[in-house]
């Protein structure tokens, strides 16, 4: 009986470490400026992203991803609208890029997501 109990404990502990996945998400992007205002080559610019939830910017990271999945940390500040952040983007060559962000929402959930865009 004692052995069975210890075996059960081992099994439940093992189950606890199964099926681990990446971050869950509650904060999602509701709109972003790239849809209306594309980025042009060789011009530093800003990208506005709005979330459905309050964001803790101090606990968030935003990266520019370029060809070969090279990551570059970008700076961002809170926008004038609720849940909006404004990201500063350096002057870029024409090509395919992505904004990859890890944001901490006010409800305590960490979210990772990617927005693809083209610089022409």
Partner 1 sequence: MAGIADFLDSLIGGFDLICYSLLMGGLFWGLFVLRPWQHDKAYNSHLLDKTIALIYKGGFLLAAAQIFKIILKVWLMTAVLERWPFPEFASTTQFIGGIIRAVLTLLVTAYVYFVLRKHTFSKQHWWIAFAVSIPMVISGAWLVHAAGRFDNRAFLMTFTVFHQLGAAAWVGGVLQLGNVWKLHKQQLISSNNWPQLLKAFSTFGVISVGFILVSGLPIALQYIDTLNALVGTGYGNLLMVKVVLLGLALGFAWLNRSAMLEFFANRQNVAVFKKVPHYVEAETLVLITLLFTAASLASQPPAIDIPLLTASWQEVANTFHPQIPQISSPSHVALIAGEAGRVAIINQVPSLAATEWSNYNHNIAGIFLTVMSFFAMLSYTTKLPFTKYWPLGFVGLGIFLFFRSDAETWPLGPIGFWESTFNNGEVLQHRIATLLVFVLGLFELTARITKNPTSKLPYFFPILSAFGGLMLLTHSHVGFQAKSAFLIQVGHTSMGIFALILSCGRWLELKLDKPGKDIAGFISVAALFVIGIILMFYREPLY
Q: In 3D, which of 90, 93, 59, 57 has the Cα closest to residue 76?
A: 57
Partners of 95 in beta bridges: 119
- One of 6, 38, 44, 59 touching partner 1 (CB under 8 A): 59
Site mask for partner 1 (CB under 8 A), range 66-105, x = bound: xxxx------------xx------------xxx-x-x-xx
Count the residues of the shown chain that bind partner 1, applying the rule CB under 8 A.
52
Site membership for partner 1, residue 48 (CB under 8 A): no
Site membership for partner 1, residue 15 (CB under 8 A): yes
Scanning the structure block, which residue is given the tokens 């509701």? 30
Q: Considering the complex, what minimum distance in angstroms separates the CB of residue 54 from partner 1?
A: 5
- Structure tokens that stand for 50 in this block: 């709005």
- Structure tokens that stand for 120 in this block: 């022409």
- One of 9, 23, 44, 94 touching partner 1 (CB under 8 A): 23
Task: Give Dmax over CA atoms of the chain in angstroms.
Answer: 73
Site membership for partner 1, residue 38 (CB under 8 A): no
- Structure tokens that stand for 9 in this block: 């404990």
CA dihedral 97, 101, 79, 25 (to 10 degrees): 130
Instruction: Using CB under 8 A, list all residues that contact partner 1.
Output: 1, 4, 8, 11-12, 14-28, 30, 52-54, 56, 58-59, 61, 65-69, 82-83, 96-98, 100, 102, 104-114, 116
């Amino acid at each position: 009986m004692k052995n069975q109990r210890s075996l059960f404990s081992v099994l439940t502990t093992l189950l606890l470490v199964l099926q681990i996945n990446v971050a869950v998400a509650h904060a999602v992007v509701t709109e972003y400026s790239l849809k209306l205002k594309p980025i042009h080559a060789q011009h530093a610019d800003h990208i506005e992203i709005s979330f459905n939830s309050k964001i803790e910017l101090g606990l968030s990271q935003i990266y520019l991803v370029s060809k070969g999945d090279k990551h570059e940390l970008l700076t961002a500040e809170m926008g004038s609208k609720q849940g909006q952040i404004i990201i500063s983007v350096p002057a870029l060559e024409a090509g395919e890029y992505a904004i990859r962000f890890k944001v901490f929402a006010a409800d305590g959930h960490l979210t990772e997501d990617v927005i693809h865009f083209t610089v022409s």
